[in-house]
A and B are shown apart, each in its own frame.
Chain A
Amino acid sequence: GNSVTQMEGPVTLSEEAFLTINCTYTATGYPSLFWYVQYPGEGLQLLLKATKADDKGSNKGFEATYRKETTSFHLEKGSVQVSDSAVYFCALLPATGGGNKLTFGTGTQLKVEL
Protein backbone atom coordinates (compact mmCIF):
# COMPACT_ATOMS: atom_id res chain seq x y z
CA GLY A 1 0.00 0.00 0.00
CA ASN A 2 0.87 3.66 0.03
CA SER A 3 3.01 4.99 2.86
CA VAL A 4 5.15 7.94 3.86
CA THR A 5 8.18 7.75 6.14
CA GLN A 6 9.63 10.81 7.81
CA MET A 7 12.66 11.26 9.98
CA GLU A 8 11.90 11.20 13.67
CA GLY A 9 12.10 14.36 15.65
CA PRO A 10 12.40 16.58 17.39
CA VAL A 11 14.91 18.37 15.24
CA THR A 12 16.52 21.20 17.19
CA LEU A 13 18.42 23.92 15.33
CA SER A 14 19.87 27.31 16.04
CA GLU A 15 18.43 30.28 14.19
CA GLU A 16 19.91 30.73 10.68
CA ALA A 17 20.93 27.07 10.48
CA PHE A 18 20.23 24.94 7.42
CA LEU A 19 17.24 22.61 7.65
CA THR A 20 16.64 19.25 6.06
CA ILE A 21 13.71 17.03 6.97
CA ASN A 22 13.79 13.72 5.16
CA CYS A 23 10.72 12.16 3.58
CA THR A 24 10.51 8.98 1.53
CA TYR A 25 7.45 7.33 0.13
CA THR A 26 6.08 4.06 -1.17
CA ALA A 27 3.49 4.21 -3.91
CA THR A 28 2.89 2.95 -7.40
CA GLY A 29 3.24 5.25 -10.36
CA TYR A 30 3.70 8.95 -9.86
CA PRO A 31 1.90 10.26 -6.79
CA SER A 32 1.61 13.93 -5.97
CA LEU A 33 3.65 14.95 -2.93
CA PHE A 34 2.97 17.59 -0.30
CA TRP A 35 4.44 19.20 2.78
CA TYR A 36 2.08 20.52 5.44
CA VAL A 37 3.01 22.55 8.52
CA GLN A 38 1.24 22.62 11.87
CA TYR A 39 1.93 25.51 14.25
CA PRO A 40 1.17 25.00 17.95
CA GLY A 41 -2.55 24.80 18.66
CA GLU A 42 -3.54 25.02 15.02
CA GLY A 43 -4.59 22.78 12.16
CA LEU A 44 -2.32 21.81 9.28
CA GLN A 45 -1.57 24.24 6.47
CA LEU A 46 -0.34 23.37 3.01
CA LEU A 47 3.27 24.52 2.68
CA LEU A 48 4.23 23.30 -0.78
CA LYS A 49 3.60 20.53 -3.28
CA ALA A 50 4.98 18.84 -6.38
CA THR A 51 2.98 16.82 -8.85
CA LYS A 52 5.56 15.15 -11.09
CA ALA A 53 9.11 13.88 -11.04
CA ASP A 54 11.83 16.54 -10.81
CA ASP A 55 9.31 19.23 -9.89
CA LYS A 56 10.41 21.57 -7.13
CA GLY A 57 7.82 22.99 -4.78
CA SER A 58 8.69 26.15 -2.87
CA ASN A 59 7.08 28.56 -0.43
CA LYS A 60 8.23 30.89 2.38
CA GLY A 61 11.88 29.95 1.79
CA PHE A 62 11.17 26.21 2.02
CA GLU A 63 11.66 23.94 -0.94
CA ALA A 64 11.43 20.26 -1.80
CA THR A 65 12.25 18.37 -4.98
CA TYR A 66 10.32 15.32 -6.17
CA ARG A 67 12.94 12.60 -6.74
CA LYS A 68 11.41 9.55 -8.38
CA GLU A 69 14.68 7.61 -8.47
CA THR A 70 15.04 7.77 -4.68
CA THR A 71 11.29 8.05 -3.92
CA SER A 72 12.02 11.09 -1.80
CA PHE A 73 10.69 14.59 -1.17
CA HIS A 74 13.03 16.12 1.40
CA LEU A 75 12.14 19.51 2.84
CA GLU A 76 14.92 22.13 3.00
CA LYS A 77 15.36 25.69 4.10
CA GLY A 78 18.58 27.65 3.95
CA SER A 79 18.17 29.71 7.12
CA VAL A 80 15.55 28.85 9.71
CA GLN A 81 13.91 31.30 12.07
CA VAL A 82 12.36 30.83 15.49
CA SER A 83 8.98 31.34 13.83
CA ASP A 84 9.55 28.15 11.79
CA SER A 85 9.16 26.06 14.94
CA ALA A 86 6.31 23.70 14.13
CA VAL A 87 5.49 20.13 13.15
CA TYR A 88 6.02 19.28 9.50
CA PHE A 89 4.09 16.53 7.72
CA CYS A 90 4.94 14.92 4.43
CA ALA A 91 1.98 13.50 2.48
CA LEU A 92 1.19 11.80 -0.79
CA LEU A 93 -1.81 11.63 -3.08
CA PRO A 94 -1.71 8.37 -5.05
CA ALA A 95 -1.77 8.48 -8.82
CA THR A 96 -4.11 5.51 -8.93
CA GLY A 97 -6.12 3.63 -6.38
CA GLY A 98 -5.91 4.59 -2.71
CA GLY A 99 -9.31 6.21 -2.97
CA ASN A 100 -7.69 9.49 -3.99
CA LYS A 101 -7.08 10.47 -0.38
CA LEU A 102 -3.98 11.94 1.21
CA THR A 103 -1.70 9.64 3.19
CA PHE A 104 0.35 11.46 5.84
CA GLY A 105 3.64 10.68 7.50
CA THR A 106 3.93 10.77 11.27
CA GLY A 107 5.27 14.32 11.38
CA THR A 108 8.61 15.83 12.37
CA GLN A 109 8.78 18.45 15.08
CA LEU A 110 11.19 21.32 14.45
CA LYS A 111 12.42 23.51 17.29
CA VAL A 112 14.47 26.58 16.42
CA GLU A 113 16.34 28.32 19.20
CA LEU A 114 18.02 31.72 19.38
Chain B
Amino acid sequence: DAGITQSPRHKVTETGTPVTLRCHQTENHRYMYWYRQDPGHGLRLIHYSYGVKDTDKGEVSDGYSVSRSKTEDFLLTLESATSSQTSVYFCAISESQGGFYGYTFGSGTRLTVV
Protein backbone atom coordinates (compact mmCIF):
# COMPACT_ATOMS: atom_id res chain seq x y z
CA ASP B 1 0.00 0.00 0.00
CA ALA B 2 3.06 2.23 -0.31
CA GLY B 3 2.19 5.62 -1.80
CA ILE B 4 5.68 5.99 -3.21
CA THR B 5 7.86 3.41 -4.86
CA GLN B 6 11.37 3.58 -6.23
CA SER B 7 12.92 1.40 -8.88
CA PRO B 8 15.24 -0.31 -9.10
CA ARG B 9 16.04 -1.06 -5.45
CA HIS B 10 19.61 -1.97 -6.27
CA LYS B 11 21.77 -1.30 -9.30
CA VAL B 12 25.39 -1.81 -10.24
CA THR B 13 26.60 0.09 -13.27
CA GLU B 14 29.86 0.92 -14.97
CA THR B 15 31.58 4.27 -15.00
CA GLY B 16 30.53 6.40 -17.93
CA THR B 17 27.15 4.79 -18.53
CA PRO B 18 23.85 6.67 -18.18
CA VAL B 19 21.52 5.51 -15.42
CA THR B 20 17.90 6.41 -14.76
CA LEU B 21 16.16 5.96 -11.43
CA ARG B 22 12.41 6.12 -11.18
CA CYS B 23 10.14 7.44 -8.47
CA HIS B 24 6.42 6.71 -8.73
CA GLN B 25 3.72 8.05 -6.42
CA THR B 26 0.03 7.31 -6.08
CA GLU B 27 -0.74 10.20 -3.70
CA ASN B 28 -1.18 12.91 -6.36
CA HIS B 29 1.21 15.14 -4.40
CA ARG B 30 2.51 18.15 -6.23
CA TYR B 31 6.03 18.24 -4.79
CA MET B 32 8.69 15.62 -5.40
CA TYR B 33 12.35 15.51 -4.36
CA TRP B 34 15.47 13.49 -5.04
CA TYR B 35 18.07 13.15 -2.27
CA ARG B 36 21.28 11.24 -1.93
CA GLN B 37 22.43 9.82 1.38
CA ASP B 38 26.10 9.43 2.16
CA PRO B 39 27.93 8.75 5.43
CA GLY B 40 28.87 11.96 7.17
CA HIS B 41 26.68 14.06 4.92
CA GLY B 42 23.17 13.05 5.83
CA LEU B 43 20.68 13.75 3.07
CA ARG B 44 21.54 16.23 0.35
CA LEU B 45 19.00 17.54 -2.14
CA ILE B 46 19.78 16.83 -5.79
CA HIS B 47 16.72 18.16 -7.63
CA TYR B 48 13.12 18.82 -6.85
CA SER B 49 9.86 19.38 -8.69
CA TYR B 50 6.89 21.55 -7.90
CA GLY B 51 4.69 20.31 -10.73
CA VAL B 52 4.65 18.67 -14.13
CA LYS B 53 7.57 19.97 -16.15
CA ASP B 54 8.57 22.31 -13.29
CA THR B 55 11.88 21.33 -11.74
CA ASP B 56 14.79 23.05 -10.05
CA LYS B 57 18.27 22.28 -8.80
CA GLY B 58 19.24 21.38 -5.29
CA GLU B 59 22.61 21.67 -3.60
CA VAL B 60 24.33 18.75 -5.38
CA SER B 61 22.84 18.78 -8.89
CA ASP B 62 26.01 18.54 -10.99
CA GLY B 63 26.01 15.38 -13.08
CA TYR B 64 22.28 14.79 -12.59
CA SER B 65 19.18 15.69 -14.55
CA VAL B 66 15.51 15.11 -13.86
CA SER B 67 12.24 14.97 -15.70
CA ARG B 68 8.62 15.04 -14.67
CA SER B 69 6.21 14.52 -17.53
CA LYS B 70 3.40 13.21 -15.30
CA THR B 71 2.36 14.05 -11.76
CA GLU B 72 3.08 10.54 -10.57
CA ASP B 73 6.58 10.01 -12.01
CA PHE B 74 9.85 11.78 -11.26
CA LEU B 75 12.93 10.44 -13.02
CA LEU B 76 16.53 11.02 -11.99
CA THR B 77 19.22 10.50 -14.64
CA LEU B 78 22.93 10.25 -14.09
CA GLU B 79 24.16 11.38 -17.44
CA SER B 80 27.54 9.62 -17.23
CA ALA B 81 27.92 7.76 -13.97
CA THR B 82 31.05 8.27 -11.88
CA SER B 83 32.28 6.47 -8.76
CA SER B 84 31.49 9.56 -6.67
CA GLN B 85 27.82 8.96 -7.47
CA THR B 86 27.83 5.65 -5.64
CA SER B 87 25.21 6.33 -3.00
CA VAL B 88 21.76 5.58 -1.73
CA TYR B 89 19.16 7.67 -3.50
CA PHE B 90 15.85 8.58 -1.92
CA CYS B 91 12.78 10.07 -3.48
CA ALA B 92 10.33 12.02 -1.34
CA ILE B 93 6.91 13.57 -1.89
CA SER B 94 4.96 16.23 -0.08
CA GLU B 95 1.56 17.80 -0.47
CA SER B 96 2.75 21.19 0.69
CA GLN B 97 5.63 23.30 -0.45
CA GLY B 98 8.65 22.61 1.72
CA GLY B 99 7.05 19.63 3.38
CA PHE B 100 5.33 21.49 6.21
CA TYR B 101 3.18 18.43 6.79
CA GLY B 102 6.15 16.14 6.40
CA TYR B 103 7.78 14.32 3.55
CA THR B 104 6.96 10.73 2.62
CA PHE B 105 10.08 8.88 1.54
CA GLY B 106 10.55 5.93 -0.73
CA SER B 107 12.61 2.93 0.35
CA GLY B 108 15.65 4.05 -1.59
CA THR B 109 17.81 2.87 -4.49
CA ARG B 110 21.31 1.66 -3.70
CA LEU B 111 23.49 2.54 -6.67
CA THR B 112 27.03 1.28 -7.08
CA VAL B 113 29.22 2.67 -9.87
CA VAL B 114 32.23 0.45 -10.63
Contacts and interface: CB of A to CB of B under 8 A. Distances in A.
Contact of A93 (B41, B99, B105, B107): B99
Q: What's the interface size class on B, roughly?
A: 20 to 34
Contacts of A49: 102
A45 interface: yes
A30 to B, nearest CB: 13
A66 to B, nearest CB: 15
Contacts of A104: 42-43
Contacts of B107: 41-43
Given A89-B42, A106-B40, A43 B99 contact: no
B63 interface: no
Interface SS majority for chain A: mixed
A105 to B, nearest CB: 6
B90 A100 contact: no
B48 interface: yes
A101 interface: yes
Interface of B: 33, 40-43, 45, 48, 56, 58, 90, 92, 97-100, 102-103, 105-108
19 contacts: A32-B100, A42-B108, A43-B90, A43-B106, A44-B92, A44-B103, A44-B105, A45-B105, A46-B103, A51-B100, A89-B43, A93-B99, A99-B56, A100-B97, A100-B98, A101-B48, A102-B98, A102-B103, A106-B40
Interface of A: 32, 34, 36, 41-46, 49, 51, 89, 93-94, 99-102, 104-107
